[in-house]
Structure 1
């Protein structure tokens, strides 16, 4: 997170460039592959199974008729809002049987150009520190909500020097010295000197030495556990005004530094937070301070956070700063905006799903354009979508369409962060991303109706039944700037999940679940996962925790390791560990079909009707220059 005493907020990321993977549907697979139906594959009227078809939209309306020929196929329709406004926008999708398909009116393709990517060129190593750090130092933290320009909203904090490394010095707030143990201090020094700074030096560059002392400063303070008058808790942040000499205390401390919470302890989470926050420092100084006077730019919040999370991937410490954010977005993708210029001003300070969206999008872009994309974005004098378009040579709209479709159905890709639940690495991450959750409907059934946030995708899967062809009509306000992509899906396993929760006499919460296969293909069960539909603000210290049942425990609960074709399984009572009440909780049943492709079934326990995100900016909000 980036703290900006007048600017905005930001975050950090881990190693390999993961390929985005196979996708799942609410009751089955949504990826290409062999069609096991007896009917011939429908190749007619401009449609080919598995092929993404970009559909033209006119004044908020899109209409097309896709072939089915009675083949019981499913139709995937990805409906996105590309509006830069927050929304929400009401959208409606209806499906009816018709006698024949027609060639779709395709959205106009835009020409691309060769990407403009600049390889990283390391700078010279700054001089080593020549003097010992001061034993005490004064800092300032904005602890009260209100105007960032109001000095009364800031708290003076006296820092006591507790550890020193080659390129880092660690202070602890005077009143908190007993809260940060020796192991945590040592880990912070070793992580910065041996891991975070060297990786940054050879990939994206170093942050400016704002105070000229040759060392980066870390301040631990318990104020981070109770910011905003006690309403917010964060693990860390960078206040970019600290780096800008134009700002004087309390609005900026003229020091290259990050703030960390005293709740952190030695281990992977501390290391990941430090990597994330240092990335914010690098991005700000390279884009804003390494320019002629008046030419610097400050990166938009969504891209700043995405860069920081992506750099977490370069380190690979842990996914605990990211897994719950990815999972929140995938559980309700239409709720979360991708392009958010300022998270504070948009009142999205603790809306985790937005950050999950930005990471998955930039991860997809980096996988396609290579590691030079990060360097190019950091060093560019552009910001936001314009920055990405200049680097890739593609319009944002085209990148968004390909990403949104590929996130659900990519037969040529392997498992990714969006499908981490299928990789068997749950020990590192209790949250279980299992692909984006779609709505499901049938031909001539009730229309699919939802509210879309700006720059968000919605996934609709339509069971075509025995219809010869299916006509789809999508309607929304013109201001939503709808984008529609459709694809005929193969006939494959279709897994459905239903469940009910109840409280036992001892107060513990239990679950009974039923799994049913409706596609004529057996599936092998992998896991049953549950989590809060909306993760709590302070995820790592909340009593509400995600849970997962797999292996022998899953077999014991359902009495079998597989759901037979057109069969069903009912579970014994399952204790929902980490949940204090019956909802809203999202449940995911993960399985593999006969070809080893992921299949996910979803359901929700509890009422989530009042969970619309805060996606509109409040008039009284002002930007905050904090990066988280």
Structure 2
């Protein structure tokens, strides 16, 4: 039996949950899902289905989610909730729950199931996870059920879900900076991890199961897309039969390689002191140097640098960089040339100096900042 029911949401709690959840907490969760997150996500991304004809999305709070991480792995993070596409897939739904279901952790203050989670932790975290997973649900419905296409590629699907978290947080501004931070902080922290070593984390991961740094790349790229092409773009990407790079190119009218190259520049020059970046190389919603400098002042352990991206610095004729270039990302080098210095030539080569395979299509992008 549902513990809380609204216009769009019904909340169920596993009877085996180790810690009770009071009715007031469940009612508060139902209210934020129903009155804020559901309308925001459907207006931004599209609509969900109703294959079980009950007119609501079910939120199932169950210790099964807690069990997805062992107690010994808790220091590395945990899974707070998920959407399972098999519940909606026309070929498999009958084998599963055949309905719109979001699965969430339950409170477990003593850590009897896995990681310890207080009731307050769950109440604060569950809405953030809901808006993230609800975008995944809408994305699957719009691609697969509405248009009979394949589901969206994982990296873009994940970026859109992280964007869903951010705009949910922004819906509380200017009234509550604390609420905004609760929704947006993880994305900012993940992006910091990515910018520490962007050459080590591919953007184009095939599924939404990447590292936190890769998730950070997905959010940064999606945030850049919206800043450049407008707030209607996420809905256009979701309500599409296309996927990944082709989807982005079709909706923006720009070659994907051009967009990725400009995004790479924006990560360094968007608010670079002493340099006025052209419009296409800017984030407009965030000033990341200001944000990260503030976080560095507050917590120099987790945010050890005032700005995480620090390009290798070298004279032009001494540039020598080796390593692996991951798809959709790259390495940064700041080349310093004095006036009148001689010209130099850069060469790309494969292992042991062999030619780079034509299939790789490496790119060198240069911007002059002085």
For 1:593-612, list aligned pairs within 5 A. Answer: none
- CA change 1:254–1:313 in 2 (3 A) is same
Alignment partners' CA distance in 2, 1:333 and 1:179: 43
In structure 2, the residue corresponding to 1:454 is in which secondary structure?
Answer: coil
Alignment partners' CA distance in 1, 2:37 and 2:265: 34
Q: Give the match for residue 78 of structure 2.
A: 233
Q: Give the match for residue 357 of structure 1.
A: 217
Q: Give the match for residue 244 of structure 1.
A: 89
TM-score, normalised by the number of residues in structure 2: 0.77
Alignment partners' CA distance in 1, 2:301 and 2:122: 19
Q: Give the match for residue 416 of structure 1.
A: 286
Deviation at 1:354, TM superposition (A): 1.0
Alignment partners' CA distance in 1, 2:135 and 2:297: 27
Alignment partners' CA distance in 2, 1:415 and 1:217: 33
In structure 1, the residue corresponding to 2:344 is in which secondary structure?
Answer: strand
Q: Give the match for residue 199 of structure 2.
A: 334
Alignment partners' CA distance in 2, 1:463 and 1:335: 24
Q: Give the match for residue 274 of structure 1.
A: 130
Q: Which of 229, 239, 261 matches 1:401?
A: 261
Deviation at 1:307, TM superposition (A): 1.2
Q: Give the match for residue 526 of structure 1.
A: none
Q: Which of 215, 219, 224 matches 2:56?
A: 215
Decide whether the 8 Å contact of 1:277 with 1:308 is kept in 2.
yes
Q: Give the match for residue 176 of structure 2.
A: none
Decide whether the 8 Å contact of 1:327 with 1:431 is kept in 2.
no
Alignment partners' CA distance in 1, 2:326 and 2:160: 22
Deviation at 1:210, TM superposition (A): 2.5
2:31 is the counterpart of 1:187: no
Q: Give the match for residue 304 of structure 1.
A: 157
* 1:145-188 deviation line (CA, Å, top 9, x unaligned): xxxxxxxxxxxxxxxx3322332111122211525455542332
For 1:17-416, list aligned pairs within 5 A. Answer: 135=1, 161-176=2-17, 178=19, 180-182=21-23, 184-227=25-68, 233-248=78-93, 252-262=96-106, 263=117, 265=121, 268-291=124-147, 295-316=148-169, 317=180, 318-343=183-208, 349-410=209-270, 411-412=276-277, 413=282, 416=286
Decide whether the 8 Å contact of 2:69 with 2:79 is kept in 1.
no
Alignment partners' CA distance in 2, 1:429 and 1:226: 33
Deviation at 1:208, TM superposition (A): 0.9
Deviation at 1:435, TM superposition (A): 5.2
- CA change 1:305–1:446 in 2 (3 A) is closer
Q: Give the match for residue 73 of structure 1.
A: none
Decide whether the 8 Å contact of 1:360 with 1:417 is kept in 2.
no
Alignment partners' CA distance in 2, 1:382 and 1:358: 18
In structure 1, the residue corresponding to 2:37 is in which secondary structure?
Answer: helix
- CA change 1:370–1:430 in 2 (3 A) is farther
- CA change 1:403–1:322 in 2 (3 A) is same
Moved more, 277-286 or 445-454: 445-454
Q: Which has the higher contact order (CA 8 A, sep 6+)?
A: 1
Decide whether the 8 Å contact of 1:237 with 1:277 is kept in 2.
yes
Q: Give the match for residue 335 of structure 2.
A: 462
Alignment partners' CA distance in 1, 2:189 and 2:24: 27
- CA change 1:443–1:436 in 2 (3 A) is same
For 1:429-440, list aligned pairs within 5 A. Answer: 432=303, 434=307, 436-440=309-313
Rg (Cα) greater in structure: 1
Alignment partners' CA distance in 1, 2:44 and 2:319: 52
* 1:307-363 deviation line (CA, Å, top 9, x unaligned): 1111222211421331221111100000111112224xxxxx351111111111121
* 1:380-437 deviation line (CA, Å, top 9, x unaligned): 1111111111111111111111111122113244672643214679879996572533
Aligned length, in residue pairs: 322
- CA change 1:308–1:426 in 2 (3 A) is farther
- CA change 1:415–1:369 in 2 (3 A) is closer
TM-score, normalised by the number of residues in structure 1: 0.47
Between structures 1 and 2, the one with greater strand share? 1
| Two-structure CA RMSD over aligned residues (Å) | 2.9
Q: Which runs of 5+ in 2 are unaligned?
A: 107-116, 170-179, 271-275, 350-355
Decide whether the 8 Å contact of 1:454 with 1:480 is kept in 2.
no
Decide whether the 8 Å contact of 1:238 with 1:280 is kept in 2.
yes
After TM superposition, which residue ranges in structure 1, 4 or more long, deviate above 6 angstroms? 424-430
* 1:531-583 deviation line (CA, Å, top 9, x unaligned): xxxxxxxxxxxxxxxxxxxxxxxxxxxxxxxxxxxxxxxxxxxxxxxxxxxxx
Decide whether the 8 Å contact of 2:105 with 2:122 is kept in 1.
no
Decide whether the 8 Å contact of 1:337 with 1:354 is kept in 2.
yes
* 1:426-485 deviation line (CA, Å, top 9, x unaligned): 879996572533122335547222222222121111233576134141423324321111
Decide whether the 8 Å contact of 1:439 with 1:460 is kept in 2.
yes
Q: Give the match for residue 175 of structure 2.
A: none
